């Protein structure tokens, strides 16, 4: 389904039985006004929405972290499987997750939209409310963006800004031989959630994880502030691919133990009779938005006590080795081969490294 696909004979758009105003009627400035009215000011925002550019103040001595993600209807989301509120939340979540993975504090973001003129105003209203609800949870302020018409399908681009002092920023390239590898939360739920949605299921824990991922902002920052992580990344492409980004960036390799991979109760339950698929999906599924990081083995207890203080599950899943590559090992010591996974937009296939 595309936005406004419920076209009536006179070309007007219906949502359910109720006729709602479309962007064609509200106009670009009507939409911008609606978005501006919903967003409040925030830390460091000297000039927000409404002028030619926003003016932001960052803390003296901090570096500005900036990140951008684009979500295209038909590639990143399917409007028949999600709702505008959760789409708004997820569009921001993927950016906040990137700020978290650098160990930063999110401050502000820009929202650029290409929307079909037939899109109902109500849709954008819900979308913006969803996005601003997540922004509020993390203290991030919407400070501007751009809005234009799309000939076909919705395109969402969010650019987020965060800050952190330079010697606390955590990169992908700092893993050292002997470091331990940790991951927050559980893996594979989002991929399972998408599969369940495609089969027609509507609700449940895995579906919630797919449609409304919670970025680990507090956790990334706490790790960075404590100086515990030597490298960090958020899991967007799947554990195998994202571990590969750390090992490639750090010129090392990794041993990961299958039986240690954290899996949720509903996930295990679903794959009860399919152990192969259970691991394969957890390692390659993607969109978990958990944090994957390394820390010196001497800091194991410090890592565990930090996560218990912030009430977040964390699991030690392996260690960094000198031999290149990401190696998954079964309990009997045999290696478990997986494609790295990840999605290449131009090759249009999974597993493109
Ligand atoms: P300009 O023509 O100078 O680019 P615009 O008319 O595009 O200005 O935007 C006017 C103001 O509204 C700017 O402050 C811009 O950042 C903000 N804005 C435009 N689109 C959005 C959006 N989708 N979300 C938030 N702010 C927006
Ligand atoms: Mg503009």
For ligand 1, atom 1, the nearest C-alpha belongs to 52
Q: Which ligand is nearest to the CA of 32?
A: 1
Instruction: Quote the tokens at residue 56.
Output: 């932001």
Instruction: Check whether residue 124 and residue 237 sit in a common domain.
Output: no
Range of the domain at 298: 172-350
pLDDT band at 3 (very low <50, low <70, confident <90, very high): low
| Ligand 1 atom with least separation from CA of 29 | 6
The helix/strand/coil state of 184 is: strand
Q: Which residues pair with 145 in a beta bridge?
A: 111
The secondary structure of the chain in percent helix, strand, coil, rounded to multiples of 5, reads 35, 25, 35
> In CATH, what number is assigned to the domain containing residue 73?
3.30.1330.10
Q: What would the mean pLDDT of 52-74 be, rounded to a whole number?
A: 96
pLDDT of residue 348: 56
pLDDT of residue 13: 38
Q: Which residues pair with 292 in a beta bridge?
A: 183, 233
Q: What would the mean pLDDT of 273-300 be, rounded to a whole number?
A: 96
**Among the three residues 146, 167, 188, which one is the final residue of a domain in this structure?**
167
Q: Which ligand is nearest to the CA of 124?
A: 1
Q: How far is the CA of 144 from the centre of ligand 1 (A)?
A: 5
3-state SS track over 276-295: HHHHHHHHHCCCCCCEEEEE
Instruction: Check whether residue 117 and residue 208 sit in a common domain.
Output: no
- Kindly list the distances between the CA atom of residue 98 and the CA atoms of 45, 129, 164, 311, in Å, as whole numbers in the listed order: 21, 22, 13, 21
Instruction: Check whether residue 193 and residue 277 sit in a common domain.
Output: yes
pLDDT band at 18 (very low <50, low <70, confident <90, very high): low
Q: How far is the CA of 203 from the centre of ligand 1 (A)?
A: 36
- Tens digits of residue pLDDT in 150-203: 999 999 999 999 999 999 999 999 999 999 999 999 999 999 999 999 999 999
Q: Which of 189, 192, 188 is nearest to 201 (CA)?
A: 192
| Ligand 1 atom with least separation from CA of 53 | 14
Q: Is 111 in the pocket of ligand 1 (CB under 6 A)?
A: yes
- Tens digits of residue pLDDT in 312-347: 999 999 999 999 999 999 989 899 988 876 666 777
Q: How far is the CA of 33 from the centre of ligand 1 (A)?
A: 9
pLDDT of residue 352: 36
Instruction: Check whether residue 129 and residue 267 sit in a common domain.
Output: no
- Strand residue runs (E) in 20-99: 45-47, 55-56, 62-72
Q: Which of 127, 114, 117 is nearest to 83 (CA)?
A: 127
Q: Is 49 in the pocket of ligand 1 (CB under 6 A)?
A: yes
Q: How many domains does the chain have?
A: 2
- Tens digits of residue pLDDT in 207-259: 999 999 999 999 999 999 999 999 999 999 999 999 999 999 999 999 999 99
Instruction: Check whether residue 183 and residue 309 sit in a common domain.
Output: yes
* Sign of the four-CA dihedral 210, 276, 241, 166: positive
pLDDT of residue 338: 87
Q: Is 37 in the pocket of ligand 1 (CB under 6 A)?
A: no
Percentage of the residues of the chain whose pLDDT score is greater than 70: 92
pLDDT of residue 302: 98
> In CATH, what number is assigned to the domain containing residue 332?
3.90.650.10
């Amino acid at each position: 389904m595309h936005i406004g696909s419920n076209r009536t004979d006179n070309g007007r758009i219906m949502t359910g039985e109720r006729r709602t105003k479309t962007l064609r009627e509200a106009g670009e400035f009507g939409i911008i006004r609606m978005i501006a009215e919903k967003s409040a000011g925030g830390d460091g925002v000297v000039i927000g929405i409404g002028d030619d550019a926003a003016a932001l103040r960052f803390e003296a001595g901090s570096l500005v972290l900036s990140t951008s993600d684009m979500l295209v209807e038909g590639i990143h989301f399917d409007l028949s499987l999600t709702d505008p509120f959760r789409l708004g939340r997820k569009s921001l979540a993927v950016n906040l997750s990137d700020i978290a993975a650098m160990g930063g504090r999110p401050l502000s973001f820009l929202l650029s939209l290409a929307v079909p003129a037939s899109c109902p105003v109500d849709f954008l209203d819900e979308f913006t409310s969803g996005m601003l609800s997540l922004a509020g949870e993390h203290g991030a302020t919407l400070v501007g963006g751009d809005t234009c018409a799309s000939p076909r399908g919705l395109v969402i681009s969010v650019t987020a800004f965060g800050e952190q002092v330079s010697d606390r920023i955590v990169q992908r390239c700092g893993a050292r031989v002997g470091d331990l590898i940790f991951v927050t939360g559980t893996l594979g739920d989002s991929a399972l959630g998408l599969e369940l949605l495609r089969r027609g299921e509507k609700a449940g824990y895995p579906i919630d994880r797919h449609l409304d991922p919670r970025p680990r902002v507090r956790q990334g920052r706490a790790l960075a502030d404590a100086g515990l992580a030597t490298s960090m990344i958020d899991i967007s492409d799947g554990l195998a691919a994202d571990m590969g980004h750390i090992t490639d960036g750090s010129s090392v390799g990794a041993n990961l133990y299958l039986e240690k991979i954290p899996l949720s109760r509903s996930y295990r339950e679903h794959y009860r009779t399919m152990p192969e698929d259970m691991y394969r999906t957890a390692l390659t599924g993607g969109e978990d938005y958990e944090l994957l990081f390394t820390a010196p083995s001497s800091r194991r207890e410090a890592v565990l006590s930090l996560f218990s203080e912030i009430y977040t599950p964390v699991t030690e899943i392996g260690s960094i080795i000198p031999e290149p590559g990401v190696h998954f090992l079964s309990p009997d010591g045999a290696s478990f081969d997986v494609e790295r996974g990840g999605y290449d937009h131009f090759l249009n296939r999974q597993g493109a490294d």
